[in-house]
Chain A
């Protein structure tokens, strides 16, 4: 790993269950996430993608190995200290959006800021700014039930970037979306990685997301089996490109 990694896993092993039912979900995984990069973590079901994401996100702890978040070693940290690392450095995007159904789009973003201690008008202004950034300036007062899946996922993206984390971890962000919305979300994440110099890790088994990746890591049976980088000079598709392509296809 290089010293530039904002999130780093070193030889991570994770055993799940106990006794005869014990399985080793991760068998010594090492990787580093760089700022300004969108990394795809791909692999079949049961390969250990989500377990690795949970460990990188300080939600689970590894059985052995090290996790470093913005230079902080997480070994031996208690649940509250891990929660502090999460709110200070990591943003999450979930497959099922995990928005609060009783809150509006604006409030859904504000609550992430509130958790981090940002309150009042400044928090409201920041939440609105983030929603405008993901193209939802016209949906501030809408509740999740009144929004499309793509819009809900964009609210989740706004929530993830609101606290300016150095790393965004996304678990199957396109799985519940149609192609068009999925591509838009991926283009958005790619733009966030580039424009805001954040590190974005997307766990997915959707091959349509691959053009957006700067780096693709393949994981199978708890081990990283392949890693490839996007060729120099080839940029990720932009939202406007996608719109043109859609129009061209009628």
Chain B
């Protein structure tokens, strides 16, 4: 009967119900978009790091992110790393901003990523057309399909000038977008060095793979002691550092989380206001329940039931719209991400928001005087 009464109270005033649902819906869509953008940005920032098979990253001291390593590590550093007990492999990786000269004039910035997947460092992914074998052919590179227009090319076979060399598109990937909006250009390690006019063996990162059973912390400390000018980070640490740099030091993440918080706040206020006014309208019924001997808990459950039903209906509608927005953003430069985990978090957030909103109404009925049933 608690749910029946909650349901009837909720649907008794349709206009108020619509206001409540719009409040929740607005809140959920806003939070979903903000968190979806946050998640999408995070994935973009860490996508390359997540596609490596490294236990440790050797970076130049203070490297802020995947795109910000410079090319300061030398082969001597690699040899020292290889000589460290517990290290199985040390794979070089070149990452650097470079200028892409568009075939029809003008230029744009790209991030050249030089890797040899055979060494199991960074393994490119998401090939839509062509393979890594094609990229290994002379002048070969792979770019993401979504940046063809920005790069002023049409597809496989097109050529361009990148920094000091000529390249030809040999493969297209799908879904590898760049948070910096500078497209990634994947190529072999040697070609990347050539394009970046690096004659030696300079490298941006060394990806360290440990031997089975090696102690991560111990190897990390040993490496750090041997490589004075470099920094040794676990993959998780480098991931966090990249996220911090792009999301928090630029303020983008704060803005996204702040927007989500604002959405929650607005939703909470709207739901609280409508639940409170609904409770006020049904005060006499709650007083009757109290006179009939109901416990305070029973009445609180009715109000929480109203809040819960609002949450379920509002969430369902809000998620439907949020999923439509996610779908619509699929081909945009910054696609929103919706995962089952995020959907579950959003549901928990909605229920929490509605429960908090019910507090003012609960405080109102807590003070109810059942004697008012005799005064009507």
Interface residues, chain A, with chain B CB atoms under 8 Å away: 50, 53-54, 57, 59-60, 79-80, 83-88, 90, 92, 94-96, 98, 100-103, 107, 110-112, 114-116, 119, 159, 171
Contacts and interface: CB of A to CB of B under 8 A. Distances in A.
Nearest to B4: A107
Given A103-B5, A115-B298, A171 B293 contact: no
Given A59-B373, A95-B374, 13 more contacts: A54-B371, A54-B374, A60-B371, A87-B294, A92-B292, A94-B373, A95-B376, A96-B376, A102-B9, A102-B11, A103-B5, A115-B292, A159-B292
Contact of B293 (A90, A95, A107): A90
User: Nearest 4 A-B pairs (CB), nearest first?
Assistant: A87-B293, A102-B8, A86-B293, A114-B1
B296 interface: yes
B5 A100 contact: yes
Residue among B5, B288, B290, B295 with the highest chain A CB neighbour number at 10 A:
B288
B285 interface: yes
21 contacts: A53-B374, A79-B296, A83-B293, A83-B295, A84-B293, A85-B293, A86-B293, A88-B293, A92-B373, A94-B288, A94-B373, A94-B374, A95-B376, A98-B284, A100-B288, A102-B11, A103-B4, A103-B5, A111-B289, A115-B294, A115-B298
Interface of B: 1-2, 4-5, 8-9, 11-12, 284-285, 288-296, 298, 370-371, 373-374, 376
A83 B371 CA distance: 12
A90 B374 CA distance: 15
Contact of B376 (A59, A85, A94, A102): A94
Contacts of A94: 288, 373-374, 376
Contacts of A54: 371, 374
Contact of A98 (B5, B288, B371): B288
Nearest to B298: A115
Contacts of B371: 54, 59-60
Contact of A115 (B8, B284, B289, B374): B289
B295 A80 contact: yes
Given A103-B5, A114-B1, A114-B2, A83 B284 contact: no
B368 to A, nearest CB: 10
Contacts of B370: 59
A49 to B, nearest CB: 10
Contacts of B5: 100, 102-103, 111
B371 to A, nearest CB: 5
Nearest to A113: B1
A61 B288 CA distance: 18
A92 B9 CA distance: 23
Contacts of A112: 292
Contacts of B8: 100, 102-103
Contacts of B374: 50, 53-54, 59, 94-95, 171
A80 B292 CA distance: 12
A88 B296 CA distance: 16
A79 B371 CA distance: 12
A107 B1 contact: yes
Contact of A86 (B4, B292, B298): B292
Residue among B2, B12, B294, B296 with the highest chain A CB neighbour number at 10 A:
B294
Residue among B1, B11, B376 with the highest chain A CB neighbour number at 10 A:
B1
A88 B292 CA distance: 10
Contacts of B298: 115
Contacts of B288: 94, 98, 100
A113 to B, nearest CB: 8
Given A54-B371, A94-B373, A94-B374, A110 B292 contact: no
Residue among A100, A101, A159 with the highest chain B CB neighbour number at 10 A:
A100
